Amino acid sequence: MIHFDGVGKRYPTGVAALSQVTVRIDPGEFVFLVGPTGSGKSTFLKLIQAIERPTTGRVVVDGDDVGALPAAAVPRLRRRLGVVFQEFKLLPDRTVADNVAFALRVTGTDPVEIGPRVQWALETVGMAPRADDLPARLSGGEQQRVCLARAIVTRPRVVLADEPTGNLDPEAAWEIVQLLARINLRGTTVLVSTHNPTLVDILRRRVIELCAGRIVRDEARGLYQATR
C-alpha cells in the first residue's frame, strides 16, 4: 500500500528531514508513527500526500510513484487518502454536514450520492445528531470527529492522521483513536503520527519510530517507548 525505498528528503533550506528511510506498510494495517518533534513524522506524511517530493529514493502509494507523479495526477492520488489534522481545519461558516459534504463536492461526486454518504460518515463517528450545527458550537473532540467523518466520507484506501489527539483531552483522544481503530477494522489502512504514549501503549499496534529523519524502530505490536 505504502512503500518507502531508501527515501531522503532535504528541504531547500538545507534541512535534511528524512534520510535512507525504507519501510513498507501493507493494506489494512494500523500504524503509529512516533518520535520527537522534528524527527521527520510530518515530512513522512507529506510525502505520502505528494505535498512534498522525495529528494532521493522512491515513495510508492497505492501503486503510484509519488516522485514521478505529474502535478495533474496528484488530485487522483489524494482522493484515495483521507486526512485528519491536529487543528481540525473545519470551515467555520458551514454546518457539520456541509463540512463533510465539502470533500465530496470538490471531488466531483454525483450530487445524488452526497446526502447518503455524509449521513453514513456522520453516523460512523457518532455526529449525525449535530449535522446542522456550526463547528464553533462543538467541543474539540466533536470537531475532530467531524474532521474524521470528512476524511472517511470519500471511502479512502488510507487514512492519515497527523497528531489527531494533540489538541484533545484524554477522554476525547481515546474516542478518536477508537474510531480510527474501528475504521481500520473495515480494511482501511490507518497511519497515525502521535506524541500520546497512553494511546499507543493501550492499542499495541505496529509502531514506527523516527529519530533525526531515520527509522530507529519498527515493531509489530509496539509500545510508545522502546523496551530495553
Partner 1 sequence: MLADAAAGLRRNGLMAAAATTTMALALLVAGGGFVVSANLAHLAGTLEAQVEVVGFFRRDVPPAAQERVLAQTVALGGTSAATLVTRAEALRRLQQTYRSMASVPAVLPGNPLPDSIEVRVADPRRIREVAEALRAMEGVEDVVYGAAVVDRVIALTRAVRVAGLVATALLVGCALVIIVNTIRLAVAARRQEIEIMALVGASPGFVRGPFLVEGLLQGAAAALAATVALTAAYLVLAARAAASLPFLPVLAPGAVLPAALAVLWSLGLVVGLGGSEIGLRRYLTA
Residue among 3 and 79 whose Cβ is closer to partner 1? 79
Query: Which residues sit opposite 83 in a β-bridge?
Result: 160
N-terminal to C-terminal alpha carbon distance within the chain: 31
Task: Round to whole Å and give the CA distance between 23 and 46.
Answer: 15
Cell, residue 20 = 535512507
- Residues 42-61 touching partner 1, rule: CB under 8 A, are 49, 51
* Minimal distance, residue 204 CB to partner 1, in Å: 30
Binding segment for partner 1 among 67-75, 176-184, 203-211, 217-225 (CB under 8 A)? 67-75
Please identify, using beta-carbon distances, which residue of 20 and 107 lies nearer to partner 1.
107
Of the listed pieces 1-9, 86-94, 121-129, 202-210, which binds partner 1 according to CB under 8 A? 86-94
Asked if 102 touches partner 1 (CB under 8 A), the answer is: yes
Check residue 56 and give left, alpha or beta (phi > 0: left; psi -120 to 50: alpha). beta
Q: Does 3 engage in binding with partner 1 (CB under 8 A)?
A: no
In whole angstroms, what is the distance from residue 131 CA to residue 119 CA? 8
Binder among 68, 91, 185, 226 for partner 1 (CB under 8 A): 91
32: amino acid identity, one letter: F
20 lies in the binding site for partner 1 (CB under 8 A): no
Task: Kindly tell me the burial class for residue 221, based on how many C-beta atoms sit within 10 Å of its own C-beta (0-12, 13-18, 19 or more).
Answer: exposed
d(CA 174, CA 29): 19
* Contact assessment for residue 173 and residue 180, using Cβ atoms and an 8 Å cutoff: no
190 binds partner 1 (CB under 8 A): no
Minimal distance, residue 119 CB to partner 1, in Å: 19
Q: Is 154 in the site for partner 1 (CB under 8 A)?
A: yes
* 112 lies in the binding site for partner 1 (CB under 8 A): no
Report the interface residues with partner 1, using CB under 8 A: 49, 51, 71-72, 75-81, 83, 89, 91, 93, 102-103, 106-108, 150, 154
